[in-house]
Amino acid sequence: MAGKVFIHATMSFDGYIGDPEGAIDFAAGHSGLSKETVGEIIGSIGAVLAGRRGYDRGMMRGDQKAYGGAWSGPQFVLTHRPDDAPPQDPSITFLSSGVRDAVATGLAAAGGKDLVVMGADVGRQCLREGLVDEILIHLVPVLLGEGIRLFESTGHVELEPVDVAWTGDLTTMRMRVVRP
């Protein structure tokens, strides 16, 4: 049985996942997730699908790795430039045959676990193609006023709350995408 496809992001109250340069400093100093919650999320993930922007910013390397290195497994980067600086890390694969193929590849690699989608652009592409099962957001209590928005031109997508939890100063919301 295939796992779910879910978008996972830490987002400001005004909808940004990064400042105009993509830095995620706004999330620092805000906390509230229990080890159990983090462990549960990480344990559910079989593979990562990310965008090229995050990759180029180094977000899949060193101490910027997904989940601070607490998770490891196959990671895929959707890119139009597969020949430009291909990954040295054998766990990272560039994919350039479109988002639908990338999700299928990621799900297969996840081996029955979930595929987590990271990044605004790849997230939007997945939403527009109807490829997303759930959206998991940690909402940080700050307005940034500018930056990279998670949700932009997604089209109309009905959601259904699966879980909402207020812990520390974060609000974690898991929403299911309602298929038409």
Residue closest to 94 by CA, chosen among 122, 120, 128: 122
Nearer residue to a second copy within complex by CB, 59 or 144 = 144
The reply on whether position 129 binds a second copy by CB under 8 A is no
Q: What span, in angstroms and rounded, lies between the C-alpha atoms of 166 and 163?
A: 10
Rounded to a whole number, what is the distance in angstroms from the first to the last CA of the chain?
22
| DSSP designation for 35 | H
Indicate whether 159 belongs to the interface with a second copy (CB under 8 A): yes
Q: Distance (Å, rounded) from C-alpha 175 to C-alpha 172? A: 10
- From the CB of 139, what's the least distance to a second copy, in Å? 8
Which whole-number Å values give the CA distances from 22 to 32, 95, 124, 145, in the listed order? 23, 22, 16, 14
> Quick one: 106 or 147, whose CB is closer to a second copy?
147
Q: In terms of Cα–Cα distance, which of 131, 95, 113 is closest to 2? A: 113
Residues binding a second copy: what is the number (CB under 8 A)? 31
User: Which residue in the set 71, 175, 179, 180 belongs to the binding site for a second copy (CB under 8 A)?
Assistant: 175
142 scored as a contact of a second copy (CB under 8 A): yes
Residue 37 makes contact with a second copy by CB under 8 A: no
> Side chain identity at 136, as an amino acid letter?
L
Site string for a second copy, 88-127 (x = CB under 8 A): ---------------------------------------x
Q: Does 42 bind a second copy (CB under 8 A)?
A: no
Which is nearest to 23 in space by CA: 39, 10, 14? 10
Select the residue interacting with a second copy from 17, 131, 144, 148 (CB under 8 A): 144
Spell out the residues 6+ positions from residue 29 whose beta carbon is closer than 8 angstroms to its own: none
Locus of tokens 């799900």: 107
Q: How far is the CB of 57 from a second copy (least distance, A)?
A: 21
Residue of the chain from 62, 161, 179, 180 that contacts a second copy (CB under 8 A): 161
Which residues in this chain contact a second copy in the complex, by CB under 8 A? 13-15, 127, 135, 139, 141-146, 149-161, 164, 166, 169, 171, 173, 175
